[in-house]
Amino acid sequence: MNTRRWSAGRRALALSLALGLTGSLAACGGGAAPADDAADDGGAPAAVETPSDAAADGTAPEGVATAAAPSSADDVIPAVPPTVDAPAAQPTVQGKRRTVTLDEALAAIPFQLLEPATLPEGAYPPSSVHLVEANEGQATDALPAVRIIYDIEGGGTLVLLQSPARGIAIEGAEEREVGGHTVYKTEANDQIILTWEQDGVNLELRGKDVALPDLDAVIATMGPLGEGPTSKAMRGG
């Protein structure tokens, strides 16, 4: 009986000494070394494995978000452009443009040039004639084209663009009948845009600060270049 009590007491003493020694070692900094994935200061791991789809500098390829730098809503580029309520205007074909005389324009185009017999009140003779030609290697049936610009007293502007006829498809445009022609009306940038085809020519008439009835009058009197105000002014007639 005494032997069992002595053995139990001895085991208790040994356990107590072992615990005391462990505490002393920890207080003296002699504990176990930190794990490989733990920082010395007890914070985040010292080394973080980089995901295979992330770059070494912390950025990620397009479409991949990183925990270190999450994308904000302002950084996201919409997949499609915002919808515009206004009807789509006839696509504009880009080319090289130069200022020419009326005769130079006529010599460079495969279609007859048209002109109106009537211009809005206050319209000045054409201020510019531009020839728009295709760039080298550019294939388009919309060029060459001729653009004639009229300034109107009070700050208005009238622009007449003529190019080879090729059919008209303008989504959302208002169809109107003017002078025996089907005219497609749209509006953009404070301009009324009227597009139609006549005598093998695609015509686009843009009016800024010009009333719609005045634009209709221009369309209704459109005919071959000859004795109208445009040819008279530019040829000294």
Residue 142: inside a domain, yes or no?
Answer: yes
Overall pTM > 0.95: no
Structural domain harbouring 145: 96-235
Please list the rounded mean pLDDT of every run of 10 residues in the chain (237 residues).
49 50 43 40 37 38 34 34 42 85 96 96 93 95 97 96 95 96 97 98 98 98 90 78
Beta partners for residue 123, in sequence order = 152
Number of domains comprising the chain: 1
pLDDT of amino acid 237: 58
Residue 83: inside a domain, yes or no?
Answer: no
Beta partners for residue 97, in sequence order = 132
Q: How far is CA 36 from CA 28, 32, 58, 228, in A?
A: 21, 12, 21, 91
Residue 33: inside a domain, yes or no?
Answer: no
Residue 155: inside a domain, yes or no?
Answer: yes
Residue 216: inside a domain, yes or no?
Answer: yes
Q: How far is CA 41 from CA 29, 37, 38, in A?
A: 14, 12, 8
Beta partners for residue 150, in sequence order = 158
pLDDT of amino acid 183: 98
Q: Quote the CA–CA distance of 185 and 212 in Å, as a whole number.
A: 10
Residue 42: inside a domain, yes or no?
Answer: no
Here the CATH number for the domain that contains residue 216 is 3.30.200.100
pLDDT of amino acid 8: 52
pLDDT of amino acid 233: 86
> Tell me, what amino acid is at 172?
G
